[in-house]
Amino acid sequence: MSELVSDVLAGKHSALARVITNIENRAPGYREQVSALHRHAGDADVIGVTGSPGAGKSTLVDKVAAAYREQGLTVGVIAIDPSSPFTGGAVLGDRIRMASNAGDMDVFFRSMSARGSLGGLSTATTDAVTALDAFGKDKIVVETVGAGQNEVDIVRTADTVAVLVPPGSGDDVQMLKAGILEIGDVFVVNKADLDGADRTVQQLKEMLQGRSGRPDTGHHGTISGTPGDGETRSADRTGETGDWDPPIVETVANRGDGVEAFLDALASHADYLDRSGRHEHQARERYAAEIRTLLREDANGLLSAELDRRGGLDGFVDDVVDRETDPYSVVDELLAPLRDCLAEDRESHHG
Amino acid sequence: MSELVSDVLAGKHSALARVITNIENRAPGYREQVSALHRHAGDADVIGVTGSPGAGKSTLVDKVAAAYREQGLTVGVIAIDPSSPFTGGAVLGDRIRMASNAGDMDVFFRSMSARGSLGGLSTATTDAVTALDAFGKDKIVVETVGAGQNEVDIVRTADTVAVLVPPGSGDDVQMLKAGILEIGDVFVVNKADLDGADRTVQQLKEMLQGRSGRPDTGHHGTISGTPGDGETRSADRTGETGDWDPPIVETVANRGDGVEAFLDALASHADYLDRSGRHEHQARERYAAEIRTLLREDANGLLSAELDRRGGLDGFVDDVVDRETDPYSVVDELLAPLRDCLAEDRESHHG
């Protein structure tokens, strides 16, 4: 085991930061580091938080991190900004939020941006979560902007996904399209003191009814953080069917309103995952998906290197342009060695 | 050569329709059919038309097809609907538009939907264009809804890309995000008689200035289809620099206003592609991209089959969950035969 990995396992934050930088940059040795760390991971709760820009994710995540700290839990936050690889946006956000957690290194905050492909960022997020998990963080929050397919992939690294919706944004329709509705385990209407919050809650309820594909049984109750509000809590709402009905939580994060209710909803979902066996099922699905992704990426890397060795595509493209061959025939030719090799491998195992 | 391919080359529309169905369904033999057809393709102008739902794409495309027919040219239209694989939307649109071209089989209209993956739909579109091209259609229009990455990929099969923007939609910002602005060769503000059209044209001009990365030289003139309007035409605006400044055309497609100006803009761009050598350059880039995509898809198919043969991922996932191994190590193990095989292949070529 490398010294860097030992240092991470020994709880050194500087080593953790360096490993995540290696992961982000695909620096030499990062695979072996993640491999070694994986053997020590698996105990953290991973919470994904997504929503459009301006929904108040950062503020809510900061409050959640502070609340967990008060419970004596350790927290890691990874903020992903897929849209702006080179702008200072992520860095600026970083500074502001580091200040709000100043002096409290048990909230380890780290932003990651899209240096490589977005697909790669999804893998990098998974690896960073593994590092935080092996380090020993109790709660890991993965925060990402937006509602596109890439964000959906990123946030899927989480056990529990919270989707933030600002009131009156009309974003619900956008989210529905992008499939965010399907992956939300908990919905948060933040800035619930603004005009239009009630309408947004109502729209969300209707959309979630559509999602469950069954008549409204009144299960989509709102959990309000306002004291004295007597609405049904999410924990009570899942016992009968074994299904999870995503609760809608109203918060005003900058005042701290509704944060406890949000934590309760997260805890209920974690409890549901354990009781129902969904937790292990999700983990298995994630690992299978991760292996498939890595398999694709690595195989493509090998093929690209092979193609380069054979002088690249230019000669083939010449022949395609001249109509002497065509893309399908070119690919058949290029993959012939791989086909032969797999066939030989099969035969040698049979013989 | 198969009888079906011979029939396509002989100009039988029923054979063309069957080949495209084979392409859409990845039916056995479709690769060989496309391979054979590719040798006879390469003469058509391919025009991509995209824009958000309600922008008036269908109406404009119908008018364009009719105008080409009046010039004695043959036309094929492929309408792609990536968003609704199973709804009747595409089919309904089909019928309405078939009626408007009734009895005129030289406008061959065909809709394709996302049966497989969207990546696959992009390949299928390319293949369908090859079929129409080999058939002998002079003009091929690829029409697709929306502004996501998949639509961008689909519309890239075209030589010239037209982007439709409805007035006052606020869609410009969405498009900018999705990269549609970068791929538009001609912009069309359709429904130019509606309120907000001037503002949309102005916004587009500003965004296109940002795109070119140089100060406004007043080159982004508006081409209006209104008779008597004396604005600069796009054809005059490209001669000096050799660059292409995307013109903005205003149309009212359902009245036919601006359709001639749109055709002029398309012709100017086709002319620019030829004069500048961009046409061949684009074709080469497209073929290279297509080969890479097919290479990836086929290699992944081979690896999936190999994985199935080895009993699938379940055993590996068990070990990953039990922390006895990790995804990176699993992938290294699975790809070892391929690595060995490529190394052997290299050695045998050296020896």
Q: Say if CB A58 and CB A88 are below 8 A apart.
A: no
In chain B, where the domains are located: 42-275, 291-350
What's the pLDDT score for residue B82? 60
Quote the minimal CA–CA distance from A38 to chain B in Å: 6
Cα distance from A99 to chain B (closest Cα, Å)? 31
* Binary contact (B323, A38; C-beta < 8 A): yes
Contact A212/A245 with Cβ under 8 angstroms? yes
What is residue A280's predicted lDDT score, i.e. its pLDDT?
Answer: 93
Determine the pLDDT at residue A15: 93
Contacts of B83 in chain A (CB under 8 A): 177
Q: Check residue B144 and give its pLDDT.
A: 85
Quick one: pLDDT at residue B92? 39
Output the pLDDT for position B171: 54
- Interface A-B: count of C-beta contacts within 8 A: 139
Q: Which residue has the higher pLDDT, B5 or B103?
A: B5
Other Cβ atoms closer than 10 A to B132: 29
Name the residue among A291, A316, A342 with its Cβ closest to that of B327.
Answer: A291
B297 pLDDT above the threshold of 70:
yes
Q: State residue A177's pLDDT score.
A: 53
Helices (H), chain A: 3-9, 13-25, 30-38, 57-70, 89-100, 118-135, 149-155, 171-178, 180-183, 197-212, 259-276, 278-309, 314-321, 327-350
Mutate to test the interface with A, among B9, B284, B287 (most CBs of A within 10 A): B287
Tokens 């960022």, located at residue: A121
State how far the Cα of A258 lies from the Cα of A254, in Å rounded to an integer: 10
Residues B60-75: tens digit of each pLDDT: 998 999 999 989 999 9
Contact A331 B295 (CB under 8 A): yes
Closest partner CB to B291 (pick from A291, A302, A316) = A316
Give the confidence band of B115 by pLDDT, cuts at 50, 70, 90: low
Contact between residue A13 and residue A108 where contact means Cβ atoms under 8 Å apart: yes
Characterize A159-183 residue by residue with b for buried, 16 or more Cβ atoms within 10 angstroms of its Cβ, and e for exposed.
bbbbbbbbbbbebbeebbebebbeb
What pLDDT sits at residue B117? Answer: 47
- 3-class secondary-structure state, position A227: coil
B186 has a pLDDT exceeding 90: yes
Q: Answer whether residue B122 shows pLDDT above 90.
A: no
The kind and range of the H/E element at A28 are none
Match domain B42-275 to its CATH number in 3.20.20.70, 3.40.50.300, 3.40.50.150, 3.30.9.10: 3.40.50.300
pLDDT less than 70: residues of chain A: 82-106, 114-119, 146-151, 169-179, 210-242, 349-351
User: Which pLDDT belongs to residue B251?
Assistant: 95
List Cβ neighbours of B327 (8 Å cut-off, separation of 6 or more).
Answer: A38, A287, A290, A291, A294, B320
Q: What pLDDT sits at residue A214? A: 40
C-alpha A39/C-alpha A30 separation (Å) is 15
Predicted confidence at residue A282, as pLDDT, reads: 93
pLDDT at position A229: 38
Instruction: Please state which CATH class domain A42-278 belongs to.
Output: alpha beta
- CB burial string A122-143: b at 16+ within 10 A, e below: bbbbbbbbbbbbbbbbbbbbbb
Which of B320, B321, B340, B346 would best serve as a mutation to test chain A binding (most A beta carbons within 10 A)? B320
ipTM: 0.81
Q: Residue A236's pLDDT is what?
A: 38
Residues found in chain A: 351
Percent of chain B with pLDDT over 70: 75
Nearest CA in chain B to A307: B292
Shortest distance, CA A258 to any CA of chain B (angstroms): 32
Q: Do A290 and B323 touch (CB under 8 A)?
A: no
Helix (H, G, I), strand (E, B) or coil at A301: helix
Instruction: Encode burial over B224-260: b for 16+ CB neighbours within 10 A, e otherwise.
Output: bbeeeeeeeebbebbeeeeebbbbbbbbbbeeebbbb
- Of A330-334, B204-208, B221-225, B302-306, give the lowest mean pLDDT range: B221-225
Minimum Cα–Cα distance from A36: chain B residue: B326
Contacts with A225 (C-beta within 8 Å, 6 or more apart), sequence order:
A249, A250, A251, A252, A257, A258, A259, A260, A261, A262
- The pLDDT, as a whole number, for residue B79 is 87
The sheet with strand B45-51 has its strands ordered as: B107-113, B75-81, B139-145, B45-51, B160-165, B186-189, B248-250, B222-224
pLDDT classification of B111: cutoffs 50, 70, 90: confident
pLDDT at B341: 77
Which among A288, A295, A316 has CB closest to B334? A295
Q: Which of A117, A279, A297, A317 to mutate to test the interface with B (most CBs of B within 10 A)?
A: A317
B41 min Cα distance to partner chain A (Å):
8
Report the residue from B280, B294, B323 with minimal CB separation from A331: B294
**In this predicted model, what pLDDT tens digit does every residue of B26-52 receive, in sequence order?**
889 999 999 999 999 999 999 999 887
CB–CB of B31/A328 below 8 Å? yes
Residue pair A155/A80 in contact by the 8 Å Cβ criterion: no
- A303: nearest CB among B295, B307, B323: B295
Confidence band (pLDDT; 50, 70, 90) for B302? confident
Structure tokens at B345: 């292949």
What span, in angstroms and rounded, lies between the C-alpha atoms of A38 and A44?
A: 12
Q: How many residues does chain B have?
A: 351
* Binary contact (B331, A298; C-beta < 8 A): yes
* Helix residue ranges, H only, A2-47: 3-9, 13-25, 30-38
CB < 8 Å to A39, chain B = 323, 326
As a whole number of angstroms, the distance between CA B325 and CA B218 comes to 62
A9-18, B48-57, B162-171 — which is least confidently predicted?
B162-171
The reply to whether residue B291 touches residue A335, judged by beta carbons under 8 angstroms, is no
Instruction: Out of B295, B299, B331, name the one closest to residue A291 (CB).
Output: B331
A342 to chain B, any CB pair closer than 8 A? The answer is yes
State how far the Cα of A40 lies from the Cα of A28, in Å rounded to an integer: 21
Q: Which residues of B touch A341 (CB under 8 A)?
A: 337-338, 341-342, 344-345
- The yes-or-no verdict on residue B203 having pLDDT over 70 is yes
The overall average pLDDT reported for chain B is: 80
Q: What's the pLDDT band for B187 if we cut at 50, 70, 90?
A: very high
H or E element: which one contains A114? none
Q: What is the dihedral of CA A179, A182, A185, A191, to 10 degrees?
A: 50
d(CA B224, CA A208): 46
**Radius of gyration of chain A measured on its C-alpha atoms:** 23
**Taking Cα atoms as reference points, which of A139, A131, A147 lies closest to residue A64?**
A139
Given this model, what pLDDT does residue B168 score?
73
CA distances from B268 to A102, B245, B248, B275, B342 (A): 60, 11, 13, 10, 48
Q: CA–CA separation, A50 vs A82, rounded Å?
A: 12
